[in-house]
């Protein structure tokens, strides 16, 4: 099979599209012909050597995608050749074929395209647990969403609007402001503005009920934008490490800091399927919309990696074998 691989850490130029052996499936695996693969910043970090990689080079990136079952292991009973599936947490997806543990495979309904699934799985499941587990959103809640033009940010915005909450977005440019407004934000402020003051003004001086914080370096500011008794959900550090949080501040203001990690929620096949089913239903009823992705051939993976590192993209980037 052909795959996008690399043997040394570095920039997009280390990626090579080449022939490698087909994966060998175990008794509980299914062999999947990949149709669409999601590109994420975690792939960049692994390519650069910031994240640990198991095994020996050549390394294969990719953890998210969708495709068709080609073959099943001897112990697999829930899938058969020809079935459509998707996944959010299976390695070595940047290839024509992938070995997927059956417990990680999510049945893909006929009305959800491979491209939609590969655009939705990782970021959609993240937005789902953030709005239902980390802080269960309610109608009339006020919500501040960092990086509102990004993949998770747009989905958080759409879910908030669907649930009757007021979504306020933060982003870095006028172009991205327009993207966040189209996703359903009522107000969007730029990071180079006095956004804390604007958030307070938009909430009658009280602050928002919840802040979805994915930047990290803005954590202290997020607390200042939250109301007395409000919550900050910390789930990313795209802008750098956060400053330490003084527990006395939490006590004095009755504010809550909670963390979030998707892998603490995708703990079983049942969890994956149930949570994905909610996402698919939101797609069907228009509660969330997937912006058209930037699509690259898998052989052009270098160009796709260069685009995601430029931070100029606002939607999902897909690789197609």
Do 28 and 65 touch, CB atoms closer than 8 A? no
User: What is the per-residue pLDDT across 95-131, written as a single tens digit (0 to 9) for each?
Assistant: 999 999 999 999 999 999 999 999 999 999 999 999 9
170 plus 217 within the same structural domain: yes
Q: What is the mean pLDDT of residues 56-69?
A: 95
To the nearest 10 degrees (0 to 180), the angle between helices 301-310 and 41-48 is 110
Q: What is the pLDDT of residues 279-307, one digit of tens each?
A: 999 999 888 888 889 999 999 999 999 99
186: CATH? 3.40.50.720
| Within a domain: 297 | yes
Report yes or no on 184 lying in a domain: yes
| Domains contained in the chain, number | 2
Are 84 and 192 contained in the same domain? no
Answer yes or no: is 133 within a domain. no
Q: How would DSSP label each residue in 204-226?
A: TTS-EEEEEE-SSTTHHHHHHHE
Of 238, 259, 280, the domain-final residue: 259
Question: Quick one: pLDDT at residue 238?
Answer: 84
> Is 23 found in the same domain as 55?
yes
Q: What is the pTM of this model?
A: 0.92
92 and 181 belong to one structural domain: no
Is 18 found in the same domain as 111? yes
pLDDT in tens, 69-94: 999 999 999 999 999 999 999 999 99
Q: Is residue 232 part of a domain?
A: yes
DSSP output for 45-108: HHHHTSS---S-SSEE---EEEEEEEEE-TT--S--TT-EEEESS-S--SBSEEEEEGGG-EE-
- 60 and 149 inside one domain: no
In a domain, 134, yes or no: no
Range of the domain at 159: 139-259
Whether residues 23 and 106 share a domain: the answer is yes
Task: Give the full edge-to-edge strand order of the sheet including 226-234.
Answer: 187-190, 166-171, 142-145, 208-213, 226-234, 256-259
Same domain? 218 vs 281: no
**Helix 114-129 with 151-162: angle, nearest 10 deg:** 70
Q: What is the average per-residue pLDDT within 161-171?
A: 96
Q: What is the CATH number of the domain that holds 47?
A: 3.90.180.10
Q: Is residue 12 included in any domain, yes or no? A: yes
| Contact predicate 93/35, CB 8 Å | no
Q: Where are the beta strands (DSSP E) in the chain?
A: 2-6, 16-19, 29-39, 59-60, 64-72, 84-87, 97-101, 106-107, 142-145, 166-171, 187-190, 208-213, 226-234, 256-259, 294-297, 317-320
Inform me whether the pLDDT recorded for 250 exceeds 80: yes
Residue 292: per-residue pLDDT: 87
User: What angle is formed at CA 128 by the lines to CA 282 and CA 62, rounded to 5 degrees?
Assistant: 100
């Amino acid at each position: 099979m052909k795959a996008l691989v690399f043997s040394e850490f570095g920039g997009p130029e280390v990626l090579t599209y080449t022939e490698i052996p087909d994966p060998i499936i175990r008794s509980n695996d299914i062999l999947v012909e990949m149709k669409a693969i999601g590109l994420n910043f975690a792939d960049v970090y692994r390519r650069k050597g910031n994240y640990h990689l198991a095994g020996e080079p050549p390394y294969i990136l990719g953890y998210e995608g969708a495709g068709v079952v080609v073959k099943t292991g001897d112990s697999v009973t829930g899938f058969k050749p020809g079935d459509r599936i998707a996944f959010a947490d299976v390695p070595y997806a940047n290839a024509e074929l992938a070995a997927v543990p059956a417990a990680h495979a999510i049945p893909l309904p006929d009305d959800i395209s491979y491209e939609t699934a590969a655009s939705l799985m990782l970021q959609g499941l993240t937005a789902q647990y953030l709005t239902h587990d980390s802080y269960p959103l309610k109608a009339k809640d006020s919500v501040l969403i960092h990086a509102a033009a990004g993949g998770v940010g747009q989905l958080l915005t759409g879910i908030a609007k669907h649930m009757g909450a007021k979504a306020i977005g933060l982003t870095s440019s006028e172009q991205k402001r327009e993207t966040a407004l189209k996703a359903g934000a009522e107000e969007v402020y730029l990071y180079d503005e006095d956004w804390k003051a604007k958030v307070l003004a938009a909430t009658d001086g009280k602050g928002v009920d919840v802040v979805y914080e994915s930047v990290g370096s803005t954590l202290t500011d997020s607390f200042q934008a939250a109301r007395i008794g409000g919550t900050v959900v910390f789930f990313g550090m795209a802008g750098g490490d956060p400053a330490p949080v003084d527990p006395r501040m939490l006590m004095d203001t009755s504010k809550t800091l909670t963390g979030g990690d998707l892998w603490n929620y995708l703990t079983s096949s049942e969890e994956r399927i149930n949570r994905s089913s909610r996402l698919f239903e939101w797609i069907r009823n228009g509660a969330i919309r997937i912006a058209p992705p930037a699509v690259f051939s898998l052989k052009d993976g270098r160009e796709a990696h260069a685009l995601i590192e430029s931070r100029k993209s606002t939607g999902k980037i897909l690789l197609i074998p």
